[in-house]
Amino acid sequence: MTVRIFVPKDAAALALGAERVAKALSSEVEARGIDATIVRNGSRGLHWLEPMIEVETAQGRIAYGPVKASDVASLLDAGLATGRDHALCLGKTEELPFLKSQTRLTFARCGIVDPLSLADYRAHEGLKGLERAVTLAPADIVAHVTESGLRGRGGAGFPTGIKWKTVLDTPGARKYIVCNADEGDSGTFADRMIMEGDPFVLIEGMAIAGIATGATKGFVYIRSEYPHAIATMTQAVEIAHKAGVVGTSVLGSAHAFDIEIRTGAGAYVCGEETALLNSLEGKRGIVRAKPPLPAHKGLFDCPTVINNVISLASVPIIMDKGPVYYKDFGMGRSRGTIPIQIAGNARHRGLYEAAFGLTLGQIVDDIGGGTASGRPVKAVQVGGPLGAYFPRALFDTAFDYEAFAAKDGLIGHAGIVVFDDTADMLKQARFAMEFCAIESCGKCTPCRIGSTRGVEVADKIAQGIEPEKNRELLADLCNTMKFGSLCALGGFTPYPVTSAMNHFPDDFRPVPLVEAAE
Amino acid sequence: MVTLTIDGNEITVPEGTSIMRASMEAGIEVPKLCATDMMDSFGSCRLCLVEIQGRAGMPASCTTPVAPGMNVSTQTQRLKDVRRGVMELYISDHPLDCLTCAANGDCELQDMAGAVGLRDVRYGYDGSNHVKARDNGGINLNWAPKDESNPYFTFDPAKMHRLFAVCAGL
């Protein structure tokens, strides 16, 4: 019997040498005459163990990692093909604590299936949501999504069902579904992982959105920094098209829906939905004033649903298992699951999908295993470069949109970056301003000029120049940017700056240079 | 027609009217730089921000249409603070040659600096700017010379605070 060995083709695994491992494995297997197929799967999300390879056995899948190309011969000597023990053997994949304690709804197939096998996708419950959707009236699909409590996973947390209903109710000869895959936040990789590991779930989610709102065309706007995701998505759309999953007749129904993959050009601000729409239209990516809402007047002035990858990829399971199933997970007004991305100075870096409601401390200490450096955790930045820094004192905050807002933070796209006690929070605050200055689209004044002044004021504080006056000025500037900016780039940059100032005031009182020299 | 309240005054205007226009109809002047009747509203200068009861944040009055029953405030302390903060940023990257400038006395920027009560630019004038040809002993790459090729007007990039409004209108 042919044995299936899985070597991830996920960009994180590739960055850690998965391609070399796959090549070594392929030639060794051939040289030894082992009857084996190498499947290039997505990542399971245990990034500190990548490249993590797996072999299918009668007892289930057995994992090995982190594997180097030079380990391949010894792995085969030990009996990799039959799942035998080895120094790198991690045991049954499903039993790995990091995986076992997760609730994988959106990422149910990621890392398990061959990303480009539609047969594999179907065999793992794929397309059931779309099959159900084609039998329903658009308003019923929208009602399902509304009932599930799904909120925008891009960061704003706007109820997806309400957005869809607005587009459904807005008359228009043409409507569009736009998938925001411009995942620019530092420390986030959930969109990339799903596009590389289970692209059909996104295609299915977009097709359901199309049927629900009357849109017949979808665009996936992927950042240029994701070449592997772009390649996988492009191939997956072709495969789905040939198989009739999308096209003039979605699964043989009267609904037409096509998908086109578009590549960004490297601007962070194009992850802001209206700038993204401008970019898609071939214009410079600058933010539009709202209203009009994209749901009324979006891409090419047509009613447009613009959703994050994870929002759309969560729809198929909602349609398949029903809104109540999904809604039963979570807490408060945050329903369902959220793929938490643990990065930075954490011991266990990777993707952890769980129902809303874990505390930040559980995520950082228990799941993330503390810092990789072994030093104490000083702060974690939650929600990307525009998210607030949380000190240990706030680790009892539950992972929930409202709970984070109540602590002057945001969960954003659920990326968590861990810092140990060597981090200088004044430098981090300066970095936030510098990031905003580089990435600003330049349209509005608080963001365009404010971010540059923010860097300068932070530098003055660091140099001990009128520190009290400049701290006050930085706080005032944050107020101007927060309330005066046109979009979340300038509007949210104050989150990391003010949180750093409030929670780590000592870092904003550096020892004056003269004193330090003594 | 839509009826709304602006600073306590009830006013009725056609549907689709911006809050800024409605305010003017009511005799209330909202500070502004980028809005002009000659072009579509753009919402970039962030001086015409207002507060609307029941809505979060401070939307720009030039790009926000009126809605029935809306209760708009154009002069709260919070708005004054943000407007002065925005103006302070503008002036931190603008030449200080008012007395010799051709536009002196007929200058929107000057008017608005006065309107929002800007007294002091706490950032100083040593930071990154589009004003000085040479900076910190080197060439300032942000700076561009005046264009005086047109007999009717002079184009000075250093004084241009409405770049986007101009470009968007073209």
Average pLDDT estimate for A138-148: 98
Contact A433, A279 (CB under 8 A): no
The nearest alpha carbon in chain A to B80 belongs to A480
Residue B167 lies in a domain: no
* Pair B57, B118 in one domain: no
Mean model confidence pLDDT for chain B? 90
Does residue A467 surpass a pLDDT of 50? yes
- pLDDT tens string A230-273: 999 999 999 999 999 999 999 999 999 999 999 999 999 999 99
- pLDDT tens string A370-388: 999 999 999 999 999 999 9
Tell me, what CATH number does B51's domain have?
A: 3.10.20.740
* Pair B35, B1 in one domain: yes
* Pair B41, B97 in one domain: no
Eight-class DSSP state of B86: H
Does residue A464 surpass a pLDDT of 60? yes
Which pLDDT value is given to residue A274?
97
Categorize the per-residue pLDDT at B154 as very low, low, confident or very high, splitting at 50, 70 and 90: confident
DSSP lists the bridge partners of residue A343 as A417
Domain boundary among B75, B101, B135: B75
The nearest alpha carbon in chain A to B163 belongs to A443
Residue B166 lies in a domain: no
Domain boundary among B75, B103, B123: B75
Does residue A437 surpass a pLDDT of 90? yes
Contact B87, B47 (CB under 8 A): yes
Which pLDDT value is given to residue B169?
36
Strand locations in A16-140, DSSP E?
36-39, 53-57, 60-64, 89-92
Q: Cβ contact (<8 Å) for B57 and A456?
A: no
* Pair B122, B53 in one domain: no
Of the candidates A153, A324, A310, A129, the one whose C-alpha atom is nearest the C-alpha of residue A208 is: A129
- Which residues of chain A are within 8 Å of residue B57 when distances are taken between CB atoms? 483, 491
Contact A258, A246 (CB under 8 A): yes
Average pLDDT estimate for B140-161: 86
Mean model confidence pLDDT for chain A? 97
Residue B170 lies in a domain: no
Categorize the per-residue pLDDT at A510 as very low, low, confident or very high, splitting at 50, 70 and 90: confident
Residue B140 lies in a domain: yes
3-state SS, residue A341: strand
* Pair B34, B101 in one domain: no
Categorize the per-residue pLDDT at B161 as very low, low, confident or very high, splitting at 50, 70 and 90: low
Contact A443, A287 (CB under 8 A): yes
Does residue B168 surpass a pLDDT of 50? no
Those residues with Cβ within 8 angstroms of residue A504's Cβ, 6 or more apart along the chain or in another chain: A378, A379, A389, A391, A425
The fraction of chain A above a pLDDT of 90, given in percent, is 98
Measured between alpha carbons, how far is A73 from B152 in angstroms, rounded to an integer? 80
Residue B128 lies in a domain: yes
- Which residues of chain B are within 8 Å of residue A483 when distances are taken between CB atoms? 49, 57-58, 78, 82
Contact B35, B41 (CB under 8 A): yes
Q: Taking the alpha carbons of A491, A495, A496, A502 in that order, is the dihedral positive or negative?
A: positive
The nearest CA of chain B is from the CA of A386 a distance in Å of 17
Eight-class DSSP state of A251: G
Q: Cβ contact (<8 Å) for A289 and B78?
A: no
List, in order of start, the domains of chain A with CATH numbers.
Answer: 3-100 (3.40.30.10), 118-327 (3.40.50.11540), 330-420 (3.10.20.600), 425-515 (1.20.1440.230)
Nearest to A456 among B41, B63, B123 (CB): B123
Residue B134 lies in a domain: yes
Helices and strands (H, E) in chain B, number of each type: 4, 6
Query: What are the residues of chain A with a beta carbon less than 8 Å away from any beta carbon of chain B?
Result: 286, 289-291, 442-446, 449-450, 452-453, 456-457, 469, 473, 476-477, 479-480, 483-486, 491
* Pair B48, B91 in one domain: no
- Which residues of chain A are within 8 Å of residue B46 when distances are taken between CB atoms? 444-446, 484-486
Query: What are the residues of chain B with a beta carbon less than 8 Å away from any beta carbon of chain A?
Result: 41-46, 49, 57-58, 60, 63-65, 78, 81-82, 85-86, 88-90, 92-93, 122-123, 127-128, 164
Which pLDDT value is given to residue B123?
97
* Pair B137, B110 in one domain: yes
The nearest CA of chain A is from the CA of B58 a distance in Å of 6
Residue B165 lies in a domain: no
Which pLDDT value is given to residue B170?
33
Categorize the per-residue pLDDT at A153 as very low, low, confident or very high, splitting at 50, 70 and 90: very high
* Pair B45, B90 in one domain: no
Strand locations in A358-470, DSSP E?
377-382, 389-391, 415-420
* Pair B66, B120 in one domain: no
Residue B104 lies in a domain: yes
Q: Cβ contact (<8 Å) for A486 and B81?
A: no
User: Residue B35 sits in which domain range?
Assistant: 1-75
Average pLDDT estimate for A272-281: 97
The fraction of chain A above a pLDDT of 70, given in percent, is 99
* Pair B86, B153 in one domain: yes
What ipTM is given for this predicted complex? 0.94
Structure tokens, A449: 């000029």
* Pair B70, B94 in one domain: no
Counted domains in chain B = 2
The nearest CA of chain B is from the CA of A385 a distance in Å of 21
* Pair B145, B89 in one domain: yes
Does residue B160 surpass a pLDDT of 90? no
Average pLDDT estimate for B151-169: 65
Domain boundary among B42, B75, B108: B75
